[in-house]
Amino acid sequence: MTRQILIAATLFFSCVSAGGAQAPLFREVAEETGLKFQHFTGATGEYFMPEIMGAGCALLDYDNDGDLDVYLVQGTLLDEKKKLSEASFPPPAGWESGNRLFRNELIPSGKLRFTDVTRAAGVGHVGYGMGVAVGDIDNDGDLDLYLTNAGSNALYRNNGNGTFTDATREAGVDDPRWSTSAAFLDYDRDGDLDLYVCNYVDFTVKSHKRCFAPTGEPDYCAPRAYRPLPDRLFRNDGKGRFTDVSQASGIGNVPGPGLGVTCADFNGDGWPDIYVANDGAANFLWLNKHDGTFEESGLLAGAAYGMDGVARAGMGAAAGDFDNDGDEDLLITNLTREGSTLYRNNGRGQFQDSTQEFNLTQPTFLSTGFGAVWLDYDNDGRLDLFTANGAVTIIAALKGKPYPFHQRNQLFHNEASAAFREVTATAGPALQLSEVSRGVATGDVDNDGDVDLLVSNNNGPARLLLNETGARRNWLTVKLEGVKDNRHGIGARVAVFRKGEKPLWRRVHSDGSYLSAGDARAHFGLGAATEIESVVVQWPGGDKEVWNNLKPNKQVTLRRQTGKPWKASPESKP
């Protein structure tokens, strides 16, 4: 018996030490790299609804030096009559109002380090900040910023010299209502980027309502306390001006409490469609009719509701080909006790709610999800999933705590067995933080070949989660350079062909998630493959080109008209 006990004890300790020795998948480095940012909600005890909803973040190479910089959206006092000292959570000493831009010094210094360049760049926009969208609106090669607010929005044009100019008025893209996520897309395939803006509900400070939890405690209102607003679509006229085509396109004809937006060719007809996550109402799938108009098709597509035909509280939206079958699937984050929704595309723009089948119902059920991104964090060739979580109403178990809304973010590994496995608990201390997360953006911040995560927290610090595992496998990052198409190839689809494997199709985009914008370049995890047969690009205008003899483990720039024309074979499914 003594021997048996000894064996059992040995097994127990060996298990513990194996668990303890597991290297973290991500390491949180915001503060140590100079990324010091604290989100300010402006809360003064009134429970104004926007306080709990923001804010977003972006990863973009604004100075074109080859590394990703960081943009963070900030809140302010909503009630103009109040002072900063009256805030429930006053900002730290030395706090400056407005959004912040942090330049990545990796190139040329070789060290990942961020410097706050907001003032010099002129992008310290002050508003009640919600989201940010990133795109090159004038095809001049540098990235511009569109900022949404609970109030007027703003467009900042990149001057190409490290500074920006507020171009909102001349561009004609303001919306004074409560806007949330926004996305750049070339919906008319004319070679410049148009703009989709989600509007939420008609809350104003003046029209604020006091709402209560089932127990009678003051709490944040649900969206149904206000009236939903129609979204906006702005067409880029190519000369720095946009035209509001919300009515003409049909987009403005249906109001909805929009929070998340992602644009992709969902039905495989070569034209970009628009998917909008609505909070407590049917989600929209705007199918592009190729003539400047859209048709709302969410219901028949099976992407408007949960499996039971009931609307969920849609927050974030992420499109990606998680099952590597060549089409864009959808992941929508929802409220606690709803769980996220995974819509699997059959290639024709018809979706099945496959949440249960892929083992995502149970693990997401108690989280209120906001930001959501597909990323192949371990470069094994399959898209994994990260969700940024945090409640919007008081969590009963956290009552009495100063900010009782925090939850853990979640990481799910895409298993070869066609299911997701939650790996949050073993992903390292960075994933054990319990905060009120909202935005998340992806990009390879340290240029080491794997995808990192930038997370924005409501009433909390920004977090930079460096990927510590992906670079052990092979990878390829593809940057596009459009000529007839928009300069960064937003909306293009890129495929990597490997010997004996299904092609990997990825979309060039900066949209999706929640209030946030990620690096638009297409990243491919290649697993053990050390050779690439070919890379195919389907440009936004529809043309397809192929490049051969590309090597893995590097970033390549593919310029339009430098590849060979490509025709799809039946198994390569464009």
Partner 1 sequence: MIAASIVAFCLLTSPANAQTLPELPALSVENFEPDIREQINKAYADAKAKPRDAQASGWLGMTLHTYEQYDLAEVCYDRAHRLAPTEFRWAYYLGIVQAALGKQREAATAFKAALKLDPNHLPAQLRLADALLAAGQPAESRQFYELVLKRNADIAQAHYGLGRVASAGNNAAEAAGRYRKAIDLFSEYGAAHYALGLALRDQGQTKEAQEHLARSQQLKLSQPTLEDPLIISIAEMNAGASAHLKRGAALENAGKLAESVAEHERALEINPWLVQAHINLISLCGRTEQNEKAEKHYRAALNINPDLPEIHYNYGVLLVGQERLKEAAQAFQQCLKLDPYYAEAHHNFATLIEREGRLDEAAAHYRKAIENKPGYRLAHFHLGRILVNQDKLPEAIEQFQKTLTPEDEQTPLFAYALGATYIRAGEREKGIQLLRQALKRAKEFGQAQLAAGIERDLQTLEKQS
Applying CB under 8 A, the residues found at the interface with partner 1 are 1, 177, 202, 204, 206-210, 212-218, 225, 227, 229-230, 247, 252-255, 299-300, 302, 305, 307-310, 337, 339, 350, 352, 356-357, 359, 361-362, 365-366, 396-397, 399-400
DSSP per-residue string spanning 232-268: EEEEE-SSS-EEE-HHHHSGGGSEE-EEEEEEE-TTS
Contact 265, 328 (CB under 8 A): yes
Q: Of 108 and 216, which CB lies nearer to partner 1 in the complex structure?
A: 216
Question: CB of 250: closest distance to partner 1 in angstroms?
Answer: 9
Nearest approach, Cβ of 308 to partner 1 (angstroms)? 5
Smaller CB separation from partner 1, 38 or 350: 350
Q: 111 or 206, CB closer to partner 1?
A: 206
Are 78 and 128 in contact by the 8 Å Cβ rule? The answer is yes
Cα torsion angle, 44, 58, 515, 195, sign: positive
Contacts of 430 (CB under 8 A, 6+ apart): 24, 26, 27, 28, 463, 465
Distance of closest approach, residue 48 Cβ to partner 1, in angstroms: 12
CA distance 359 to 380: 19
Nearer to partner 1, 47 or 374 (CB): 47
First-to-last CA distance in the chain? 64
To the nearest whole angstrom, how small is the minimum distance from the Cβ of residue 278 to partner 1? 14
Give 360 or 480: the residue with its C-beta nearer to partner 1: 360
- Least distance between partner 1 and beta carbon 67 (Å): 41
DSSP string, 269-285: SSS-EEEEEEBSSPPEE
Least distance (Å) from partner 1 to the CB of residue 213? 8
Comparison of 207 and 561: residue with beta carbon closer to partner 1: 207
CB closer to partner 1 out of 282 and 331:
282
Distance of closest approach, residue 396 Cβ to partner 1, in angstroms: 5
Q: How far apart are CA 573 and CA 74, in angstroms?
A: 42
Q: Which is nearer to partner 1, 78 or 465 (CB)?
A: 78
For residues 19 and 176, which CB has a smaller minimum distance to partner 1 in the complex? 176
**At residue 25, what are phi and psi to the nearest 5 degrees?**
-75, -35
The token duo for 127 is 């508003």
Instruction: Find the shortest distance in angstroms from Cβ 393 to partner 1.
Output: 10
Q: Is 95 exposed, middle or buried (0-12, 13-18, 19+ CB in 10 A)?
A: exposed
- Sheet of 341-345: strand order equals 317-320, 329-332, 341-345, 351-353
Indicate the helix (H) or strand (E) that contains 505: strand 504-507
Q: How far is the CB of 221 from partner 1 (least distance, A)?
A: 10
Read out DSSP for 307-318? TTS---B---EE
Edge-to-edge strand order for the sheet containing 129-135?
129-135, 144-149, 151-158, 164-166
